[in-house]
């Protein structure tokens, strides 16, 4: 049998050759256990989750009480983002083996990723009771407390993690995300960072980058902005791709494929009854704040950053497929294809937001998918969050984000260029869908919260509720960089924050061109219209 680690160590040609031998074995005996498990391993290594799951499901009827098989199925379903199945398999596994600490840990991760941090804490706690010296479990419990807004308990967990493993990179970084450092605390924190950089020689690059981001945050809190920016440069240098991806492809693909000529005959395709609420914009543009206002309404359930629309666009090849090929893929989609995509999206949303009739999806980069969204959901609501271009981009550059963002965020000039492409795409969507996208400005939300909130609720065709303005009291778990801020009263401290680094970000400002003056003129226009 080929195990998952063995399959992962193979190169693509070796996997292809192995798969040929496996298929030959299955032709001789379709119940060959080793062949079925090996096939699952190969597909798992290729990140082909449905195929891997399919092979394991052929094994399951004869091995329903095999906890290891159930754990494997739980992992694969979690990777496929089928959290309903993942939760069922993980629960069955720990019921069969209640002393299986890795099984409880996996269940905790599944519950956390499916929006149940309290359930995750309980599962991690069961694992910790079995392995009390596991620093990673304490750290994961801390993350769940962070998402739930209980920062005292989160800090306690992060500090306990560091008692057990003093150089744990992400625990050190986690503290910086939820703690405002006093000047006298900064030197000690920097010593922790340096010890971790020196000691964690096998840590993946993103964790070392996180340490630099944490150090920069501490230095900023202490008022040492020049030193902080040097750390931000170091953090982004670690994440900078050796061979950057061309950023223009996805923008070109959208404008080539989604045209009025293409969309008008298909205007009644998809699910014409569903009305999901998409909150889009550049990262760090206020999407979490806006979701918190909208989701404070009793008719709306917050869904957070749902991955399904990006997955659908990815399967079509939006990001990297040459424009003619992407155009051919999109135009070949049938009405049945679009309906199937809409059903799949809603099934995924239900696993995250429950059976709510109205929910939010605030994955910022869904600004890339607006053509696809209206094709699938003609009655969708799209809220576009805007913020001063320099503030937006500096915030992106100075915050740790997942490696998926590194192709545009780690270089100031590339980041400014990316912003201009985003701006042009949003202009294009506005011409294609006039009056259908609701634009909000972060600075306006901060200065005129009730007025903006009423505009949002009206756009969603809902009646006003006074509880919308008590949004920090109504939030569920928030699993983004803004998890701390969203529970504070609406604040203005992030407005104009870029100017503290004005002398450092010349390449960004140059690349942004007239985006800054254009945005500032739009804000002045808002002031005149009230």
Whole-number pLDDT of residue 319: 84
Structure-token pair, residue 238: 């670690």
Evaluate whether residue 205 is within a structural domain: no
Measure the CA–CA gap between 415 and 297, rounded to whole angstroms.
35
Which of 176, 141, 172 lies closest to 157, judged by CA?
141
What pLDDT is attached to residue 480?
Answer: 52
**pLDDT for residue 489:** 45
> How far from chain centre, in Å, is Cα 358?
20
CB burial readout 385-422, b (16+ within 10 A) else e = bbbbbbbbbbbbbbbbbeeebbbbbbbbebbbbbbbeb
Predicted TM-score of the model (pTM): 0.87
Per-residue pLDDT of the chain (530 residues; tens, 9 = 90+): 999 999 999 999 999 999 999 999 999 999 999 999 999 999 999 999 999 999 999 999 999 999 999 999 999 999 988 888 999 999 999 999 999 999 999 999 999 998 899 999 999 999 999 999 999 999 999 999 999 989 999 999 999 999 999 999 999 999 999 999 999 999 999 999 999 999 999 999 999 999 999 999 999 999 999 999 999 999 999 999 887 777 888 999 999 999 999 999 999 999 999 999 999 999 999 999 999 999 999 999 999 899 899 999 998 999 888 888 999 999 999 999 999 999 999 988 888 887 788 999 999 999 999 999 999 999 999 999 999 999 999 999 999 998 889 999 999 999 999 999 999 999 999 999 999 999 999 999 998 999 999 999 999 999 999 988 875 544 554 455 454 444 344 455 566 789 899 999 999 999 999 999 999 999 888 876 65
Tokens of 34: 């080793």
Query: Residue 474 has what pLDDT?
Result: 47
Residue 20 lies in a domain: no
Domain-embedded: residue 228: no
Q: Residue 486: its pLDDT value, please? A: 44
Task: Specify if 393 maps to a domain.
Answer: yes
**Helix, strand, coil shares of the chain as percentages rounded to 5?**
70, 5, 30
The CATH number given to whatever domain includes residue 481 is 3.40.50.300
Of 177, 172, 176, nearest to 194 (Cα)? 172
Q: Is 149 helix (H, G, I), strand (E, B) or coil?
A: coil
What does the buried/exposed string (b/e) look like for 517-529 if buried means 16 or more CB atoms within 10 Å of the residue's CB?
eebeeeeeeeeee
Question: Do the beta carbons of residue 165 and residue 133 sit within 8 Å?
Answer: no
Domain count, the chain: 1
Q: For residue 281, what are the domain limits?
A: 248-529
In a domain, 175, yes or no: no
Query: 446 lies in a domain?
Result: yes
C-alpha dist (Å) from residue 444 to 115, 286, 440, 495 = 30, 11, 7, 11
Q: Is residue 352 part of a domain?
A: yes
**pLDDT score at 162:** 98
What element of type H or E holds 340?
helix 335-353
Residue at 88 is within a domain = no
């Amino acid at each position: 049998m080929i195990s998952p680690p063995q399959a992962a160590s193979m190169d693509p040609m070796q996997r292809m050759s192995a798969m040929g031998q496996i298929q030959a074995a299955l032709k001789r005996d379709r119940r060959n256990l080793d062949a079925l498990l090996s096939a699952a391993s190969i597909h798992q290594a290729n990140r082909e989750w449905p195929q891997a799951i399919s092979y394991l499901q052929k094994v399951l009827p004869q091995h329903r009480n095999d906890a290891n098989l159930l754990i494997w199925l739980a992992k694969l379903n979690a990777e496929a983002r089928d959290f309903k199945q993942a939760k069922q398999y993980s629960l069955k596994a720990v019921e069969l083996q209640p002393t299986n600490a890795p099984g409880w840990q996996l269940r905790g991760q599944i519950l956390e990723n499916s929006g149940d941090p309290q359930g995750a804490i309980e599962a991690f706690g069961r694992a910790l009771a079995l392995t009390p010296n596991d620093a990673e479990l304490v750290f994961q419990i801390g993350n769940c407390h962070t998402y739930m807004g209980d920062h005292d308990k989160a800090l306690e967990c992060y500090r306990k993690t560091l008692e057990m493993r003093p150089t744990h990179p992400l625990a050190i970084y986690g503290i910086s995300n939820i703690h405002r450092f006093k000047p006298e605390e900064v030197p000690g924190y920097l010593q922790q960072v340096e010890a971790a950089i020196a000691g964690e020689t096998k840590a993946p690059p993103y964790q070392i980058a996180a340490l630099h981001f944490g150090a920069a945050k501490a230095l900023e809190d202490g008022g040492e902005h020049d030193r902080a920016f040097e750390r931000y440069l170091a953090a982004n240098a670690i994440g900078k791709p050796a061979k950057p991806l061309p950023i223009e492809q996805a923008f070109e693909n959208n404008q080539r494929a989604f045209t009025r000529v293409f969309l008008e005959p298909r205007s009644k395709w998809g699910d014409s009854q569903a009305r999901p609420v998409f909150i889009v914009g550049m990262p760090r543009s206020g999407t979490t704040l806006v979701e918190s206002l909208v989701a404070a309404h009793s008719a709306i359930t917050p869904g957070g950053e749902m991955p399904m629309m990006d997955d659908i666009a990815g399967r079509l090849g939006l990001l990297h497929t040459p424009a003619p090929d992407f155009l051919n893929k999109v135009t070949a989609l049938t009405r049945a294809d679009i309906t199937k995509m809409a059903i799949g999206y809603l099934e995924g949303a239900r696993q995250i937001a429950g059976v709510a009739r109205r929910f939010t999806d605030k994955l910022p980069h869904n600004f890339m998918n607006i053509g696809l969204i209206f094709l699938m959901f003609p009655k969708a609501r799209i809220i576009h969050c805007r913020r001063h271009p320099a503030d937006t981009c500096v915030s992106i550059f100075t915050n740790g984000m997942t490696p998926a963002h590194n192709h545009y965020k780690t270089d100031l000039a590339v980041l400014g260029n990316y912003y201009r492409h985003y701006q042009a795409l949003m202009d294009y969507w506005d011409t294609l869908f006039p009056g259908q996208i609701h634009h909000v400005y972060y600075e306006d939300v901060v200065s005129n919260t009730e007025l903006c909130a009423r505009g949002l609720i009206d756009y969603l065709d809902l009646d006003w509720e006074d509880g919308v303005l008590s949004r920090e009291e109504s939030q569920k778990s928030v699993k983004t960089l803004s998890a701390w801020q969203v529970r504070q009263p609406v604040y203005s401290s992030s407005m104009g924050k870029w100017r503290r680094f004005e002398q450092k970000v010349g390449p960004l400002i140059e690349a942004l061109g007239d985006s800054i003056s254009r945005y500032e003129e739009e804000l002045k226009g808002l002031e005149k219209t009230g």
